[in-house]
Chain A
Amino acid sequence: MADIKPPVSNTLDTNSTSNPPGDMDRRSFIKWSLVGWGAFVAVIGGYGSMVGRFLFPNVLFEPVQTFRAGTPYEYEIGVSERFKEKYGVWIVREKEKIFALLAVCTHLGCTPNYLPADHKFKCPCHGSGFYTNGINFEGPAPRSLERLKITLADDGEIVVDKTIRFHYEKGEWSNQDSFIPV
């Protein structure tokens, strides 16, 4: 180690009063380190913003989040699987209301199946079960299925908006938009 030159940063040592010849003085050290760090930040920032831009694609091939689901008369009491394949939504008609359930298990996000014989939704991944009203009652799912915003358009058709969700545990199922009274 004896004959290896001390690294440049040694000049930062405040105790040394004079600069050995050939070494940097404090001023130019600060100048160069500013340049260096500035370049570093610029590169990282540039790449970072490119990566960030990448997260917001120009075109989104996502299924539409809002769809029309026919008129309320088309639904009998019970669970309708009409829109499950396409939108992942069950339309459930109870005696006094119609609501839309999102077919995503609240445990880890699998798609549950509707078992008409048992009147329940059952998840194939870890066995969570939900009543037809969406309440979880068996297996590990910690929350009820989420209900979606459902409204009547002017022409009397049902409109389901998947972007707005109502959580039971937060007491949102009494919200006017979470069901249609019939």
Chain B
Amino acid sequence: MEAFPVPLKIIMEAVKHFINAIASPKILFNIVFLFYLIVFPPFKFFQRIHDALGIDRLWTKRGGIFIFSLMFLAFAFGLTDANFRLIVLKPDNVPIVALLFLVVFFLWFAMTQAKENDEAIAKGDKPKEYADSREKVLVFPDLVYIEFLCLIFVAVLLAVWAIGLPAPLEQPANPTVSPNPSKAPWYFLGLQEMLVYFDPWIAGVVLPTAILLGLMCIPYIDKNRKGLGYYTYQDRKMAINTFMFFWLVLWMFLIFIGTFLRGPNWSFFGPFEYWDHNKLEVLNNINLSQYVFMIWLKQGMPSNILLREAPGFLVLAVYFGLLPAIFAKTIFKDLYQRIGGIRYSIFVVFLLMALALPIKMYLRWLFNIKYIIAIPEFFFNI
């Protein structure tokens, strides 16, 4: 433990405290969201910031070295901390650490190629892949040979991994004992995080279905034929920026949170914080109807269920009924004209559904809102 001189240690502790503090979801989510807006700007305003900062310099060899040295440095710094080591080096979590690096790597890789192509196209040249399509190789042996090598390599890797980092089975399932914290497999942690903010019906059935349907809709909504068969960013800006929001913020980031920042009792813990089973987090959550009737109007809850939940229904009607129309006149004006009414409505409804997740998170963090519509009598809570 005495590996570092004392003054350095103090600085390191201070940094850790700072990181723990900003890792609280309210702050971290804002940081990640801002990051996304600047790196993949969906709006003109952020595009200007993006340009001013010269973000696209990240998508070069130099930029890659910069990103990865930063990531490795941060990781190495984290490893000096016992609590961090405990979570990150847990055999179950190793794939997710690898995943973080891999996601960033492939993001950088694709964007770099896209940038090279974009520059070539801007100069009037053809994209790099254009030459590839004329050159032909034989399936056998060229392709099969590579596939075979990959197969051997992956098999060896998995074998070594399984021997080196044992992740044994736990004791037989017992319905009266849930491990604390109870975590879903990593690929479901995004869903589990959604469940914190929604009723199981919504987060477990409706939203996943909407995600699948939304993915199926993409080729029908987006008719843009540019960018077929080659990496590009400029030709597919809108599509890439939208996708990155779902992929990076609503999926990868939630998996990250679920894996590293959720501890016992599903409380939130900073990366350098000890997972204390008795950490007290007081969250008194209130439904919207209670807000309206008991706090604003200072009266009892109406006994009629529909009347009681009228504010929630109103909010929902405005959200899904009015907002698409408003958007069509304002921020999505061009889009609306380009893809037409039907495509536009489908697109907007899915987009609003997806945005409901971050919105609900904010409502929970800022106002302790539990449900917009809460009819537990009929298992209907939104």
Contact = CB atoms under 8 A, between A and B. Distances in A.
B283 interface: yes
B376 A169 contact: yes
A162 interface: no
B199 A170 contact: no
A165 B285 CA distance: 25
Given A84-B176, A111-B178, A126-B195, A138 B266 contact: no
Contact of B196 (A87, A103, A124, A140): A140
Given A108-B200, A138-B285, A126 B266 contact: yes
Interface in B102-145: none
A47 interface: no
A123 interface: yes
Contact of A124 (B180, B198, B370, B381): B180
B204 interface: yes
B157 interface: no
B176 A142 contact: no
Given A118-B280, A142-B376, A88 B285 contact: no
Contacts of B377: 169-170
Interface of B: 175-182, 192, 195-200, 204, 264-267, 278, 280, 282-285, 370-371, 374, 376-377, 379, 381
A88 B280 CA distance: 24
Contacts of B176: 84-88, 103, 111
A71 B264 CA distance: 35
Contact of B179 (A87, A124, A126): A124
A31 to B, nearest CB: 45
Q: Which DSSP category, helix, strand, loop or mixed, fits chain A's interface?
A: loop
Contacts of B267: 127
Interface residues of A, number: 30
Interface in A114-159: 115, 117-118, 122-127, 129, 137-140, 142-143
Contact of A137 (B182, B197, B264, B285): B285
Nearest to B199: A142
Interface string A5-23: 0000000000000000000
A169 to B, nearest CB: 5
17 contacts: A87-B176, A88-B175, A103-B176, A107-B200, A108-B200, A110-B182, A111-B177, A117-B278, A124-B265, A125-B182, A126-B266, A127-B283, A137-B284, A139-B283, A140-B196, A142-B379, A170-B377
A80 interface: no
Contacts of A115: 265, 278
A85 B163 CA distance: 35
Residue of B200, B204, B377 with most partner-chain A CB within 10 A: B200
A107 B285 CA distance: 14
Interface in A31-65: none
B265 A127 contact: yes
Contact of A122 (B198, B200, B265, B370): B265
